Chains A and B, each alone.
Chain A
Amino acid sequence: EAQLVASGGRLVPPGGSLRLSCGDSGFNFSTLSMNWVRQAPGKGLEWVSYISNIGTTQYYRDSVKGRFTVSRDNSKNLLFLQMDSLRGEDTAVYYCASGTYCGSDCYYFDSWGQGTLVTVSS
């Protein structure tokens, strides 16, 4: 099971950039597909992005396409989220989570990190 720790969240002005990181202290990070999921204050969970285990495939929710980029460094067991052109509505706790395919049309999150807070405000 992945042992995930997200970091990098802070206060950033609108239009600014930020890079989040997520480290895994487990031993099989390179076999895991990974995701970023966010939660605005007092709101529900919202999936942000997905990256395959070797980083060749990425998916994004529509509201972050063209602004956010997910990547990973399997040699260092690290997942990243580069966030550009940040908006107030991006304010949230960002969780990294590993996922598992359970069929061609089935995917779930089996381990979650503790989350890091991103605040977009002037």
Chain B
Amino acid sequence: SYDLTQPPSESVSPGQTVRITCSGNNLGTKFVSWYQQRPGQSPVLLIFLDTRRPSGIPDRFSGSNSGNTATLTISGAQAVDEADYYCQTWDSRTVVFGGGTRLTVL
């Protein structure tokens, strides 16, 4: 089975930039999506097709994917960005999620 690995936690100061990584074997050959889940809420799609943002998602969220690593970048982090972030891909007719990264904005 295919595995995606994320760091359990990251922290960032308000207004600074944070990068959340997602690693997998030859991940750059697959398409990656990212989701934000605030405490007590359902997940929300942030990024799809590695780099694309759905309408309504602020442009401070961006994505990239190359080699074995996909990256979600939050530029100018805000207090409202404190949440869990999950990467996701599709492999052999199954959906794979990363373990999630808890972002603290302090």
By a beta-carbon cutoff of 8 Å, the part of chain A in contact with chain B is: 35, 37, 44-47, 50, 59, 61-62, 95, 97, 100, 102-103, 105-110, 112-115
Across the interface, B45 reaches (CB within 8 A) one of A61, A95, A109, namely A109
Residues of B within 8 A of A107 (CB): 90, 95
Q: How far is the CA of A95 from the CA of B100 in the complex (A)?
A: 17
> Smallest CB–CB gap between B53 and chain A, Å?
12
Residues of B within 8 A of A115 (CB): 42
Q: How far is the CA of A107 from the CA of B43 in the complex (A)?
A: 16
Between A and B, 29 residue pairs with Cβ closer than 8 Å are: A44-B84, A44-B86, A44-B99, A44-B100, A45-B37, A45-B43, A45-B86, A45-B88, A45-B97, A45-B100, A46-B97, A47-B97, A59-B93, A59-B94, A61-B94, A62-B1, A95-B42, A105-B30, A105-B90, A106-B30, A106-B49, A107-B90, A108-B48, A108-B49, A109-B35, A109-B45, A109-B88, A112-B44, A115-B42
CB-contacts of B83-106 with A (<8 A): 84, 86, 88, 90, 93-100
The SS class assigned to the A binding surface is strand
Q: How far is the CA of A45 from the CA of B95 in the complex (A)?
A: 11
Q: How far is the CA of A100 from the CA of B40 in the complex (A)?
A: 25
Chain B 46-76 interface 0/1 with A at a Cβ cutoff of 8 Å (1 = within): 0011000010000000000000000000000
Interface residue total, chain B, C-beta cutoff 8 A: 25
Question: Would A108 and B97 be within 8 Å (CB), given that A95-B42, A102-B31, A102-B48 are in contact?
Answer: no
> Smallest CB–CB gap between A34 and chain B, Å?
12
Q: Is the CB of A106 within 8 A of B31?
A: yes
Q: How far is the CA of A37 from the CA of B37 in the complex (A)?
A: 13
Residues of A within 8 A of B35 (CB): 45, 109
> Smallest CB–CB gap between A64 and chain B, Å?
12
Residues of A within 8 A of B98 (CB): 44
Q: Is the CB of B90 within 8 A of A110?
A: no
Residues of A within 8 A of B95 (CB): 35, 37, 47, 50, 107
Q: How far is the CA of A110 from the CA of B43 in the complex (A)?
A: 10
CB-contacts of B1-42 with A (<8 A): 1, 30-31, 33, 35, 37, 42
